[in-house]
Structure 1
Amino acid sequence: MTRRILARIAAIALTATALSPALAALDIGDPVPKFTATAALGGKTFRYSLADALAKGPVVVYFFPAAGTTDCNIEAHAFAEAMGQFEAVGATVIGVSADDIDTLKDFSVKQCQSKFPVAADQSKVVIEGFDALMQTRPDFANRLSYVVAPNGTVASYYQNLNPDKHVERMLNAVKALPKTVSSR
């Protein structure tokens, strides 16, 4: 009887581990991969460079599963609505997903309201570099947000499939940066 109970507990624990998203491998203070990617802003494509953006101040890099889905639309709208607050503290925002650039061109207008860029990462090089690959559905990025300090290190991160708190947490993290960092 005890052996059966232990086997059941082990099976439950294994299932819970397999279904739970991975924690962010990049911890506070870790350097982030500097990337360039094809991105869309206001329906137009351009080459986005994280290094160039960091030269201007902190950057919120947020990963999302799929453009056009309900929760991803909610999150993009929330970031768009908060862009004035991010700009007021010297921060920029970039969204990243495994979607193709044509999908993101449309998404950048409709959901992001032409207020911040979204980058296409179909090869998942950037997604994997930030450990943002969804473990249960490896074709998608997990919903994971980072604040990257101008020196290229993680200042804060938040992972949750629920889109509701990402903007608030990232804005608070940017505001908590030392003034010399956030108001460059």
Structure 2
Amino acid sequence: MTLTKIVAAAFAVAALAATPAMAALAVGAPAPDFRAEGALGGAPFKFHLAEALKKGPVVLYFFPAAFTSGCTIEAHNFAEAADKFNRMGATLIGVTAGNIDRIAEFSKSECRSKFPVAGDPKLRIAKAYDATMALFPGHSNRTSYVIGTDGRISTVYSNLSAQHHVEEMLAGVTEWRAAHPR
């Protein structure tokens, strides 16, 4: 059995259990600045958190591995909501430490060219955000954050199930916007 199949099976079991994971970065904590390379619509893309925050809040979501069932569902859900995030002035980016060799393809097909995904091959970003998987070293946990323009975490949601990340992040950006009118 390949590592991808093992990881997919583990995610399926975890999703059935729907046991929330705990992210260490709490609301109000400073968000670690980072730079990352990835893809948007299959083309190379560079991201810098500090630059993105100058435009508005950032929705940063970590996912375990491209083209696994849960990560594909989550990418589709974020792609469907991308225009809503854009209308709220939020920048959306996905980050993975798993199979980064396929993120260009994933950004085009599963993210539907709506938002960038970045690779985190050494888990540098995931570790800074405490979004690593204990059971599968080398993979990001499924954790989502809203980061306000002040560089602080305003919303965090960590759960191996891909089902509620988009709704939680939309609610988080809405709450942040209400507290920080333009």
Q: Deviation of residue 46 (structure 1)?
A: 2.2
Structure 1 equivalent of residue 45 of structure 2: 46
Structure 2 equivalent of residue 62 of structure 1: 61
The answer to whether structure 1 residue 123 and structure 2 residue 142 are counterparts is no
User: What is the RMSD computed on CA atoms of the aligned residues?
Assistant: 1.6
Structure 2 equivalent of residue 35 of structure 1: 34
The answer (yes or no) to whether the contact 2:35–2:46 under 8 Å persists in 1 is yes
- Percent identity reads 49
Q: Deviation of residue 144 (structure 1)?
A: 0.3
CA deviations 1:68-95 (Å, max 9, x no partner) are: 0010000000000001111111111100
**TM-score normalised according to structure 1 size:** 0.84
The verdict on how the C-alpha distance between 1:116 and 1:77 changes in structure 2, with shifts beyond 3 A counting, is: same
Q: Select between 66-75 and 133-142 the one with higher mean Cα deviation.
A: 133-142
Q: Select between 97-106 and 35-44 the one with higher mean Cα deviation.
A: 97-106
Q: Which runs of at least 4 in structure 1 moved beyond 6 Å after TM superposition?
A: none
For 1:102, the aligned partner's letter is D
Q: Deviation of residue 163 (structure 1)?
A: 0.3
Unaligned stretches of 5+ residues in structure 1? 1-19
C-alpha distance in structure 1 between counterparts of 2:145 and 2:131, whole Å: 10
The answer to whether structure 1 residue 83 and structure 2 residue 69 are counterparts is no
Aligned length: 164
1:1-184 equivalences under 5 Å are: 23-179=22-178, 181=180
**TM-score normalised according to structure 2 size:** 0.85
SS in 2 for 1:51: helix
Larger Rg: 1
Unaligned stretches of 5+ residues in structure 2? 1-18
